[in-house]
Amino acid sequence: MKIHALILSTFWLLLTVGISAEPDRNAIVRLHELVLPTFVVEGASLEEGLATVKAAWDKKYPDESFPVVTLESLEYKSDSKLGATMSLKNVPALTVVTYLGEVHGMTVRHGLDIVVLRPVIALDEGAWTSVMLNLSDASKEALKASPAADGDDDANRALKKTLEGLGLSFESGFDVRWFGGSSQLFIRNTPEEVSKLKGLLMLFDAGYSVSKPAGKKRGEPQR
């Protein structure tokens, strides 16, 4: 099977986290918290759209690298005729980057310290994914996720342990973070484990209590 070789794009507007002596593990949180009052583009290329986001980032964080990189295939190039047209208000910069990537045929991965955009056509062995999920009150109660904990290491470890007790697995390098202020849970894991988590949240929202007893059904209605 032929594997598409990938190289790091050298677009002037994109900086890798390798530029910094010490990577900022909170860069993606900051990108999410960076709210653009307006984001208006018409027929914009990926580079043009990202340049607008980068300008807002540089204004807010002039001493920090823009935590977005693109990967380009040596054999595949995105259609140059594709253009994004958007008119958004009060939108997180991370959301804009996600929209731009998806519109231009890229997969979007939200890591803890970087966003990676890569062509959908590129093969991906050992795939991982990451998402930011909004939790309902029922899910927060079921996972014992306190609104007072906001990126707290102890709370993150406790949440990870709770999820492992419910059947999720976390290999080395995979993680979960809880942001109580916005009721959002960040998880980086394999697509299968992320799907498990989404399934758990659906059960919680439907009024089920979930446990992992040996030989018993996973979800049981609350009484």
Q: What is the pLDDT of residues 56-106, one digit of tens each?
A: 999 999 998 999 988 765 544 544 456 788 888 898 998 889 888 888 777
According to the model, what pLDDT value does residue 143 have? 92
- What percent of the chain has a predicted confidence (pLDDT) above 70? 74
Return the closest-CA partner of residue 197 out of 176, 213, 223.
176
Q: What is the pLDDT of residue 213?
A: 56
Report the share of the chain in percent with pLDDT over 90.
18
- In sequence order, the 6+-apart residues with CB closer than 8 A to the CB of 144 are 158, 159, 162
Q: Which of 185, 193, 200 is nearest to 146 (CA)?
A: 185
- Distance (Å, whole) CA 108 – CA 106: 6
For 107, the enclosing helix (H) or strand (E) is strand 106-110
Quote the mean pLDDT of the chain: 76
**Comparing 6-119 with 129-221, is the CATH topology the same?**
no
What's the topology of domain 129-221?
Answer: Ribosomal Protein S8; Chain: A, domain 1 (3.30.1370)
- Domain segments of the chain as ranges: 6-119, 129-221
- Give first-to-last CA distance, the chain, whole Å: 53
* Residue 18 pLDDT greater than 50, yes or no: no
Identify the weakest region by mean pLDDT among 9-13, 32-36, 58-62, 103-107. Answer: 9-13
Question: Residue 53 — φ and ψ, nearest 5°?
Answer: -65, -40
Angstrom distance (rounded) from CA 208 to CA 214:
18
Position 161 confidence tier, pLDDT thresholds 50, 70, 90: very high
What's the CATH number for 6-119? 3.55.50
pTM for this model (two decimals): 0.50
Q: Tell whether the model's pLDDT for residue 122 goes beyond 80.
A: no
pLDDT tens column, 163-215 = 999 889 988 778 888 888 888 888 888 888 888 898 989 988 888 877 765 55
The answer to whether the Cα torsion of 50, 51, 54, 55 is positive or negative is negative
